[in-house]
Amino acid sequence: MTAAVTVRGLRKEYPGHVAVDGLDLDIHRGEVFALLGPNGAGKTTTVEILEGHRDRTAGDALVLGEDPRKAGRAWRAKLGIVLQTANDAAELTVAETVRHFARYYGDARDPDEVIEKVGLTAKAKSRVKTLSGGQRRRVDVALGIIGRPELLFLDEPTTGFDPEARRQFWGLISGLAAEGTTILLTTHYLDEAEALADRVAVIARGRIVAEGTPQNLGGREKAEAVVSWVEAGVPHSEHTNFPTKLINQLSAGGRELAELTVTRPSLEDIYLDLIGERA
């Protein structure tokens, strides 16, 4: 697969502080890539450098084949960006806002189609200032995808969404990925990363500390399982790398195991270990 994003030795320094410290990263075209990390880890700084909104101190970066700090308008037209916070045209209606932004692109999506995709058809004639926080976030997403981007940056996109709205948004992102859009997602929701991302990377203190699929990040697929059961009213649990074998042994001869469960570390467990915040 060809790379949509290639980063080597990326560094961003401020007086007395290193925000990004020698970061390497590859994102393939057509994949959903999630960048995870605590506040202050360097996620947003990294994304802003890749978007061309912030200069880097050192290192190399190529985004869609061009250096973000040198690329021009044609390159920018290939990007879609949903910022963590955005200033909107509060007096315009949802439809007016989306149609206005559509005029910036030569091959924009149909504004009504985009409004429907983000679940705002019923609010199309409402002024943006009257919307809830989650609905305003959907407007941000609509503006991010109106230009048919090759690469879509989503920085904490579902902040303020209720559970139903988040699930609807996941469907939208999955649909965009199926169309071939490359997506770089930052999120604090581990279930969101697990549901959407082909690969994830964890950033801590400005460095990538682990990278892989949600299933194998940090050796998750090889981690010991915990088999738990209740027998004669007494709870039992055992750690094992071979849970099926253990269960077969325990249930030999028709022995009944009540409340039998098999669990492995969740993505959240692995994440907390990686960033050093395990309680």
- pLDDT tens digits in sequence order for the chain, 279 residues long: 589 999 999 999 999 999 999 999 999 999 999 999 998 899 989 999 999 999 999 999 999 999 999 999 899 999 999 876 656 677 899 999 999 999 998 889 999 999 998 889 999 999 999 998 778 888 888 999 999 999 999 988 887 777 887 888 888 888 889 989 999 999 888 889 999 999 999 999 899 999 999 988 887 777 788 889 988 888 988 888 888 888 888 888 778 788 888 887 888 888 888 887 543
SS (HEC) of the chain: CCEEEEEEEEEEEECCEEEEEEEEEEEECCCEEEEECCCCCCHHHHHHHHHCCCCCCEEEEEECCECCCCCCHHHHCCEEEECCCCCCCCCCEHHHHHHHHHCCCCCCCCHHHHHHHCCCHHHCCCEHHHCCHHHHHHHHHHHHHCCCCCEEEEECCCCCCCHHHHHHHHHHHHHHHHCCCEEEEECCCHHHHHHHCCEEEEEECCEEEEEECCCCHHHHHHCCEEEEEEECCEEEEEEECCHHHHHHHHCHHHCCCEEEEEECCCHHHHHHHHHCCCC
Tell me, yes or no, whether 246 lies in a domain: yes
Tell me, yes or no, whether 234 lies in a domain: yes
- Contact by Cβ (8 Å): 140, 97: no
The phi and psi torsions of 271 (rounded to 5 degrees) equal -60, -45
Specify the pLDDT at position 1: 52
Tell me, yes or no, whether 109 lies in a domain: no
Tell me, yes or no, whether 80 lies in a domain: no
**Quick one: residue 253, left, alpha or beta (phi over 0 = left, psi -120 to 50 = alpha)?**
left
Tell me, yes or no, whether 275 lies in a domain: no
Tell me, yes or no, whether 90 lies in a domain: no
- Contact by Cβ (8 Å): 201, 25: yes
- Per the structure, the complete domain to which residue 243 belongs is given by 224-263
Q: Cα dihedral sign for 192, 195, 201, 202? A: positive
Specify the pLDDT at position 50: 96
Tell me, yes or no, whether 269 lies in a domain: no
Structure tokens at 272: 């907390």
Question: Which residue in the block uniquely carries the two structure tokens 């139903």?
Answer: 164
How many domains in the chain? 1
Tell me, yes or no, whether 110 lies in a domain: no
Specify the pLDDT at position 208: 93
- Contact by Cβ (8 Å): 1, 29: yes
Specify the pLDDT at position 118: 85
Specify the pLDDT at position 279: 38
One-letter amino acid identity for 18?
Answer: V
